[in-house]
Amino acid sequence: MTGLPLTAGDRRVRLLLLVGGTVAIGLWFGMSLLVVVLSFVGMLVVHELGHYLVARWTGMQVTEFFIGFGPRVWSVRRGETEYGIKVIPAGAYVRVTGMTNLDDVDPAHEHRTYRHQSYPKRMALALAGSGMQFLLATVLLLVIFTGMGRPDVDEWVVRSVVPGTAAEAAGIQVDDRIRAVAGRPVADFDRFGEVVRALPGRVVSVEVEREGVHLVRSVAVGERLTGSGASAFPGLFPGDRIVAVDGVATDNWSEVVDLVEVGAEHQLRVHRSDDATVVISTVARRLPTGSAAVVGFFGVSPRHPMVRLGPVTAARESVTALGDLLWMSGDALVHFFTPGGLSGFVGGAVEPGGTQGDLGVTSVDPEDENRLLSIYGAVRFGDAAFDSGAHNFLWFLVLVNVFVGVFNLVPLLPLDGGHIAIATYERLRSRGGRRHVADAAKLAPLTWAVVLFLIALAVIALYRDIVDPLNLG
């Protein structure tokens, strides 16, 4: 933006308008949404701060450090650098002189350009953004582990009881500890699930610990349709529970089988895990011989008690968790940028892949599990995480930080990984004390192609997040 320089009064007025507008948006759309958006902007500011600090440390010239994009709202100059805020809060950027060989630079400042620096300094600058995000993720993990704790995977208690299930019939309450089912210890929830699924319709004893008191209950394990069971009745989904056939109440799969006729139309009253009860008109189909139609279902969800860690243990666990998240994010990106991953992502916009899940809401196909989210989708997830508590929200910020940091290392311009790739290529091609310089003019078409490719991905992601949203359950 050109024109007369802003006076100090102008800067103050614009800054007050920005703050007031931000507060108004928070009051209108909800403070949780505002916190999520500001958190995203803050993470990107931290990313650019990494570039800025390394540039200043290595003596490179930094001319701009702005939060946001578009028209300038407020700015102030300190030395050779202009700091400010722009109208679109979609990130931040730092302008370092001479990032490519095409930049027109005053010869007097050439020695301070990025392109003039040694390979280690250029690598440090390119890696600094993602490095700051990984550092921020580690700090957040430390806060989580020391201040809130981590789940004790060796212990679990009942978090919720599904109405109308075996758990309710047995009198199970929130915070109960289920110690054994049918005499089989169930110290962890995975083992509990294995035992229950193997006992559909069976009357079993359930050993419960409640406030230090040992209780024993006898109850019939419920039944839920598996994928093959649901295939017998178009319109049903895995996890549905048939409670009546043509007005006749049913308690188990055997009664359903006795009441239906293959090829005939039946009215099914179905109870779903989100507590919804629906009536479906469907034609019964014959199941493949030997197919498993039902599994046992008890009707509880787990909560693992939180255990706070000491500073040393928390630091060690934070580094370990960061390493795991880096590996998972990198693996997800590799799978996404394969021909199959890209075709599945694009194809999902043409033919949404959402299916009815156990919670009765939309979920994704297995082959679509690594799909990218748009800003809208990420904010939606962040808002849900914020509403579910500080622990989940901080974990969400950790995941976003790690993924964005890893994504920026993809070796394509204009991402940081593209600058790393070019610097490494030039270093490998340099011989005999003579530095090889990549032809930036030849790279410009590739850069524009990548930019257009990333814009296309963003548009497709936004469309999918609106018409085919991921499951938040």
H-state helical runs in 144-259: 166-169, 189-197, 227-230, 253-259
CA distance 168 to 297: 12
Q: pLDDT by residue (tens digit) across 216-230?
A: 989 888 777 666 666
Q: Quick one: pLDDT at residue 356?
A: 34
Burial category of 463 from C-beta neighbours within 10 Å (exposed 0-12, middle 13-18, buried 19 and up): middle
User: What's the Rg (C-alpha) of the chain?
Assistant: 29
For each of the domains in the chain, give its residue range(s) and CATH number, in order of start. 1-117 (no CATH), 153-304 (2.30.42.10), 308-473 (no CATH)
Q: How far apart are CA 296 and CA 290, in angstroms?
A: 17
Q: What is the DSSP letter of 215?
A: E
Beta bridge partners of 160: 301
Choice among 284-288, 364-368, 402-406, 453-457 with the minimum mean pLDDT: 364-368
Give the pLDDT of residue 366: 41
Kindly report the backbone phi and psi dihedral angles of residue 158, in degrees, each rounded to the nearest multiple of 5, phi listed first.
Answer: -75, 125
Does the pLDDT of residue 353 top 50, yes or no? no
User: Angle 196-199-202 (CA atoms, 0-180°, nearest 5)?
Assistant: 120
pLDDT in the model for residue 357: 32
Higher pLDDT, 384 or 96: 96
Which of these, 159, 54, 154, lies nearest to 114 by C-alpha position?
54
Question: In the chain, what percentage of residues exceed pLDDT 90?
Answer: 20
Query: According to the model, what pLDDT value does residue 365 have?
Result: 42
pTM of the model: 0.70
Give the CA angle between residues 72, 73, 78 to the nearest 5°: 75
Which among 291, 290, 282, 293 has a CA at the least distance from the CA of 253? Answer: 293
pLDDT band, residue 11 (cuts 50/70/90): low
Beta-bridge mates of residue 367: none
CA 205 to chain centre: 39
Residue 370: the pLDDT is 57
Tokens representing residue 337 in the block: 């940028």
Q: What angle do CA 102, 106, 107 make, to 5 degrees?
A: 95
- Tell which residue, 449, 450, 424, has the closest CA to residue 438: 424
pLDDT-derived band at 50 (thresholds 50, 70, 90) equals very high
Q: Is the pLDDT of residue 263 over 50?
A: yes
Query: Using 50, 70 and 90 to split pLDDT, how confident is the model at 1?
Result: very low
Segment 118-135, tens digit of pLDDT: 999 999 999 999 999 999
Tell me the average pLDDT across 187-214.
Answer: 87
Residue type, 18: L
* pLDDT at residue 312 in the model: 93
Q: What is the pLDDT of residue 150?
A: 84
d(CA 257, CA 218): 26
Average pLDDT over residues 324-347: 83
